[in-house]
Chain A
């Protein structure tokens, strides 16, 4: 449609609203019959390339997460099972929300001087910016668990301690494994 068309006065036929009403109905009814066909095919059990709705039924059906989506934090372990964290305080310094609280303690090994005694993340404050992950020189903290349903009845429940962060079970299956296969799927 030409930009200048909208300044043209409506013709007599357009002023009756009839052609515009029919245009509008054609759009909505086209969507209706296309979607109802897809819904019926899916109910019968025939797989279709497209879905009848662009919405996801959330608790039953997760929207696939993009590989770069930042989700719940976890602390990584060394091969011997001790935390990789060296309590350098880089993440605590980088955190804009000040949700990380670290208390360092001495480590028995000589090569690595420190380890965290307390490592708390207050998820009620966290803004999920990912700066802690970028700041970490040891790759000790990651935000790749695929867990996004973070909720609690109390404020204390939102506070994750070192032990909890070390033992989080990642749900990698929530992530899209091959984003190139997702072409044509709604990603918004």
Chain B
């Protein structure tokens, strides 16, 4: 019972309070960041009693609009599947966060609480399963719409997502080899150890090629520009063309949630997860011998803050990439996925294996 309450508390805190809020703010950040990058002002017309807050209320206005719009089911659509598909999409974008560690152990009232919603010891496989299921929401929605354009968009999406899942999977084998575990918590903890006594053992330092491949394939997995051939909102219509109202809203939210999921996975695997350099369970221990001891709650707060900051910086970079690069042609997407990323990740495994064998 207590374990259930603990899990529920962590769920409400991490997914309800952090992830969903970041997803909502991302819709605002996307507009404002792109505006500033393109010498514009950006959305600033929505006000409440004359308070403008840099256009922050556009999030509320958008949500209100999506909720009050008619949810239209086109003629000939498979009603049940049509209603189910956006929910599947949203569900599998959300459950992925369960395995992500956002802090080390928090001791609260004598109980040791690992700051991770579900302590699955096959974390990486679970993540693969969740990412693999994401394609179902897209394909089912496209097929159930009874629209040829939606179906073609769904086909593009499934081909792209399946191709890049291969690269994601193979690029993470290097991480598994280095840290000798598939438990995300253990991977995050292992990145707190030091290399040669001073360098934090972060994934980006041990697996730079793996980091690049994972980031690229991850952005492709979110189906956003430059890999937005499945959606192509303005020109080539995509898999959710028939969706309106909150059905579209769910697909829209899924996009942002997947961006956050990929960013937080990148943080966990390659940017040290929740680790702050030289911060251990009882405080800072610097390599030059100095030590600052901290209570457990301060350490947990620092670790969570470090996770959040890394996540936000990575999201900023992903948004900048989204607003900088033009869309890839579809054959270029396939070429990049199968002929560049997959061989590169295989080479990455080979190099990792050779280095690990030499070091022992």
Q: Inside 8 A of B325's CB, which chain A residues have their CB?
A: 21, 24
Contact residues in B for A36 (Cβ distance below 8 Å) = 36
Are B41 and A53 in contact (CB-based, < 8 A)? yes
Of A25-33, A72-80, A127-135, A161-169, which stretch is located at the interface?
A25-33
Query: Which residue of the partner chain B has the closest CB to A54?
Result: B39
For chain A residues 1-41, which have a beta carbon within 8 Å of chain B?
A: 16-18, 21, 24-25, 27-29, 31-32, 35-36, 39
Verify A25–B36 contact, CB threshold 8 A: no
Point out the residues of chain A lying under 8 angstroms from B324, CB to CB.
21, 24-25, 27-28
Contact across chains for A35 and B321 when beta carbons are under 8 A apart: no
Give every chain A residue within 8 A of B37 (Cβ-Cβ).
28-29, 31-32, 35
Q: What chain A residues lie within 8 Å of B40 (beta carbons)?
A: 53-55
Query: Is B180 positioned at the interface, with any CB of A under 8 Å from its CB?
Result: no
B contact residues, range? 10 to 19
Contact A35 B320 (CB under 8 A): no
Q: Does A152 sit within 8 A of B, measured CB to CB? A: no
Whether A35 and B340, one on each chain, are in contact in the complex, defined by CB atoms closer than 8 angstroms, is no
Are A35 and B39 in contact (CB-based, < 8 A)?
A: yes
Q: How far is the CB of A54 from chain B (nearest CB, A)?
A: 5
Chain B residue contacts of A55, Cβ below 8 A:
39-41
A52 at the interface (CB under 8 A from B): yes
Q: How far is the CA of A36 from the CA of B33 in the complex (A)?
A: 9
| Shortest Cβ distance from residue B167 to the other chain A in the assembled complex, whole angstroms | 14
Which residues 25-40 of B sit at the A interface, judged by CB distance below 8 A?
33, 35-40
Closest to B344 in A: A16
* Complex Cα–Cα for A27 and B41 (A): 18
B323 touches A (CB below 8 Å): yes
Interface string of B298-318 (1 = CB under 8 A from A): 000000000000000000000
Whether the pair B323, A31 counts as a contact (CB closer than 8 A) is no
> How distant is the Cα of A122 from the Cα of B321 in the complex, in angstroms?
51
Most central of B35, B41, B320 by chain A CB within 10 Å: B41
B21 CB to nearest chain A CB (Å): 22
Q: Which residues of A contact B320 (CB under 8 A)?
A: 25, 28-29, 32
**Interface contact A53-B323, CB-CB below 8 Å:** no
The verdict on A57 contacting chain B, using a C-beta distance below 8 Å, is yes
CB atoms of B321 and A32 under 8 A apart: no
Report the nearest A residue to B317, measured CB to CB. A25
Q: A184 to B334: give the CA distance in the assembly, Å.
A: 46
Shortest CB distance B331–A (Å): 15
What's the nearest-Cβ distance from chain B to residue A75, in Å? 38
Residue-wise, chain A 47-61 has the 8 Å CB interface mask toward B (1 for contact) of: 000001111010000
Task: Give the Cβ gap from A45 to chain B, nearest Cβ, in Å.
Answer: 17
Q: How far is the CA of A35 from the CA of B42 in the complex (A)?
A: 12
Closest chain B residue to A24, Cβ basis: B324
Asked if residues A28 and B323 are in contact (CB atoms below 8 Å), the reply is yes
Given known A16-B340, A32-B33, contact A25–B39 (CB-CB < 8 A): no
Q: Report the minimal beta-carbon distance from A16 to chain B, rounded to whole angstroms.
A: 7
Closest chain-A Cβ to B18's Cβ sits at a distance in Å of 25
B41 proximity list for chain A (CB < 8 A): 52-53, 55, 57
A113 to chain B, nearest CB (A): 55
Kindly provide the distance from the CB of B340 to the nearest chain A CB, expressed in whole angstroms. Answer: 7
- A-chain residues with CB within 8 Å of residue B212 when the two chains form the complex: 18
User: CB within 8 Å of A: which residues of B?
Assistant: 33, 35-41, 44, 212, 320-321, 323-325, 336, 340
A-B CB contact pairs (8 Å), 20 listed: A17-B336, A18-B212, A21-B325, A25-B324, A27-B324, A29-B320, A31-B36, A32-B33, A32-B37, A35-B37, A39-B36, A52-B39, A53-B36, A53-B39, A53-B40, A54-B39, A55-B39, A55-B40, A57-B41, A57-B44
Chain A to chain B: the 7 pairs with minimum beta-carbon distance, closest first: A24-B324, A28-B324, A32-B37, A28-B37, A35-B36, A54-B39, A53-B41
